Amino acid sequence: MISPMQQVVIAMRRRESEAVITALQEAGVVHLRPIEGGPLRSDSAQEQTSEELKEAERLLARVESTIAELGARRPADLAQASVPPRAEWAERIEAVAVPVAELARERTEVQADVDAASAYAEPVSALAGLVGSLDRSRRVAVIPFVLHAETDLAQVQAALKEALQDRYELAVQNTNTGRVGAVATLVAERDLARSALGRLRLGELRVPGRFEGMPLEQAGAELGQIRGAGRDYLQKLNARRSALAEQHGHELFAMRDGLKDLVAVHDVRTASARGRYSLVMQGYVPTDRISALDAALKPYGDAAMYEVHDVDAHHDAAIPVELRNSGYVRPYQMVMGLMSPPKYGTFDPTWVMAYLMPFLFGLIIGDVGYGILFFLVGLWLKGKADRGESWTVPLMGTKLMPNVLKDIWSIIATMSFWTVLWGFLTGEFFGTWGEHLGLFYFNEDLINRMWGWTGLEFHAHHALSGLIPITFPRLETEYFSPIMLMIALLFGIIQVPWGWFIRIREGLKHGDQTHVWEGIALFGGVIALILMAFITRAASNFGLMFDWANPLVWLMWLGFAAFVVGYLRVIRAFPMLPVELISQGGAVLSYARIFAVGLVSAIMAKLVADLGWNLYESMGIIGAIIGLALAVLLTVLILALTLIGHILQPIRLQMVEFLNPTGYNAETSPAYNPLRRLSPEQGR
């Protein structure tokens, strides 16, 4: 649900403004909104504040660059850190920043030398043996180069001879990394030699960094020395860096947060209306936290006063949104965070996502074995979160913090529950392994009693005995596919009209007649299309549309009438509404992907299991080992290729097919982001 907000205006004496703003930071409840224009204006007294702000921003940039050079991570227990007095911040920051900057410079230089040695030590050493001290000569030019694997040495000699006649010497040597060569010629003809090599795509070898222009003998000796000892020295520098980060990290982060708080005070002043003696700011406060605002300002008496007003949800687009849901629903706010927050005063669909996303995911996968695997992965993530560890997602490089991992664990646990439950209904354990091992079996009488009302009769072709009867046999495609398809479409039949009903309700709430009639038109039209599909038996007999003895026919034509009336009311705003109606019919059919994607996943798992079992039956123990290895390999491959799609399908159905009709994606509000203190209170 969306927390109700109140608009607040706060006025304070200018000389107490820093203390009052700091108190508001401590309360952490006011979402500020800049004041633009108005009768109040800044004056020369602001100049002193600007100098203070410049110094605070300078120190903030200095401490942030120092933290970056140290590679320090924000400590989890920073709230308990001791912050030195503000007057000492500049001195303390410089005391750490100077040696850290020197260490960073040295690390950069050593890293560059190590990289150069890794790439150039061997070819330069070989070239130094070829050239000797010849490259020190003032009359002779030496041009070292590396030969490509496909380069013909005869072509090199021919190109040099054409350019220089006999006024050159060429030497080539093989190394572990390829062939290197050097051309010696007169200094005046250096460019001719370079051009000749260039025509064969052979460029002069240049060692980067401080080694450029250095004689090959000297460069080879230094690169060889760095190659042997450079990485050890770099490790020592990294150890010093880690030690400095451990020693000063807490204090640096605490001072950084303190400086951010100080800069925020100046930013608040900038966003406020300023007079010679007063400061006025405006913002929003959740209704249930006005008492916290009152407690923060009460100690200042007449120096700080505030007024609260009801927000104008119809016309004020700046009202922030805070989503406040139950413990079960709250983790799914992270999923909804893929999109902007809903407009204030409208529909919060997080609870719909929380209940339907894991349910549909379980329906798509529907496998006990996979559900157990997901649960074990969730437990592993939960363990990292409980230990306060983060996790970097492979390939994506995204770093997930412990609080995010806890939310992911909650989502995975629910998804695993539904996957296992649906797996018991479908009788799938890593495909059909459950059947082969006697865990699941087909009870024809039970299945026919459960699903016989559909007019279908089941004759199983699988195990007829075991521990647990299969009650949702989706792999029986010959019989069960129509039922499975209708179950999938049922979600669209409910959700798409529901979305347009929400559109009508929100339009009525905000007095928006255009959206009301748009919602009425498409709500009626979509229901009419759904009824038409049932009445005509999937378009097989359109004459049934005029069977007036059928009450569904009356409802269908009533729905089409609602569409026509609604369309005529909004034809200027939405002239293409008939096309949108067809699109919404497609949105209902889009839910068939629940059936299709789930069935494909189940068939692939069945093929893997049947392959492994057939190998066991035909080859005995050896076949069992081979079959099990193949099953594990193929199962991992199938999950890697399909799992992301199985997760995204339920999310897409909710965010697109369901939420588009509600207008959720069309109108948004800023997220609630209150002014709050970052740094601990000590030392202030």
Beta bridge partners of 281: 10
Cβ pair 9, 282 in contact under 8 A:
yes
Where does the pLDDT of residue 609 fall: very low under 50, low under 70, confident under 90, or very high at 90 and above? Answer: confident
pLDDT at 433: 85
What is the three-class DSSP state of 399? Answer: strand
- Examine the pLDDT at 295 and tell me if it is beyond 50: yes
pLDDT-wise least confident of 453-467, 609-623, 629-643:
453-467
Cβ pair 234, 180 in contact under 8 A:
no
Cβ pair 515, 506 in contact under 8 A:
yes
What is the three-class DSSP state of 33? Answer: strand
Look up residue 589 and give its amino acid.
L
More confident residue, 347 or 38: 347
Owner of token pair 């588009």:
660
b/e string for 576-601 if b means 16 or more Cβ within 10 A? ebeebbeebbebbebbbbbbebbbeb
| Average pLDDT of span 471-488 | 85
- Per DSSP, the residues of 605-631 read HHHHHHHHHHHHHHHHHHHHHHHHHHH
Going by C-beta distance under 8 Å and a sequence separation of 6 or more, which residues neighbour residue 385?
Answer: 402, 403, 405, 406, 409
Where does the pLDDT of residue 78 fall: very low under 50, low under 70, confident under 90, or very high at 90 and above? Answer: low
| Average pLDDT of span 217-238 | 86
The pTM score is 0.74
Going by C-beta distance under 8 Å and a sequence separation of 6 or more, which residues neighbour residue 346?
Answer: 2, 506, 662, 663, 664, 667
Cβ pair 140, 187 in contact under 8 A:
yes
Cβ pair 219, 127 in contact under 8 A:
no
d(CA 71, CA 91): 21
Cβ pair 489, 440 in contact under 8 A:
no
Owner of token pair 């979509």:
526
pLDDT at 363: 92
- Examine the pLDDT at 432 and tell me if it is beyond 90: no
Where does the pLDDT of residue 482 fall: very low under 50, low under 70, confident under 90, or very high at 90 and above? Answer: confident
Cβ pair 341, 669 in contact under 8 A:
yes
- Per DSSP, the residues of 101-138 read HHHHHHHHHHHHHHHHHHHHHHHHHHHHHHHTTGGG-S
- Examine the pLDDT at 549 and tell me if it is beyond 50: yes
Residue-wise pLDDT tens digits, 120-169: 888 888 888 888 888 888 888 899 988 887 888 888 889 989 888 888 88
Going by C-beta distance under 8 Å and a sequence separation of 6 or more, which residues neighbour residue 249?
Answer: 67, 70, 72, 73, 75
In the numeric block, which tokens belong to residue 655? 């965010």
Going by C-beta distance under 8 Å and a sequence separation of 6 or more, which residues neighbour residue 384?
Answer: 390, 391, 402, 405
| Average pLDDT of span 78-100 | 79
pLDDT at 377: 92
Q: At what angle do helices 89-131 and 216-270 cross, to 10 degrees?
A: 160
pLDDT at 525: 92
pLDDT at 682: 45
Using CA atoms, how far residue 579 sits from 567, 575, 660, in Å, is 11, 9, 15
What is the three-class DSSP state of 338? Answer: coil
- Examine the pLDDT at 684 and tell me if it is beyond 50: no
Where does the pLDDT of residue 425 fall: very low under 50, low under 70, confident under 90, or very high at 90 and above? Answer: very high
pLDDT at 354: 92
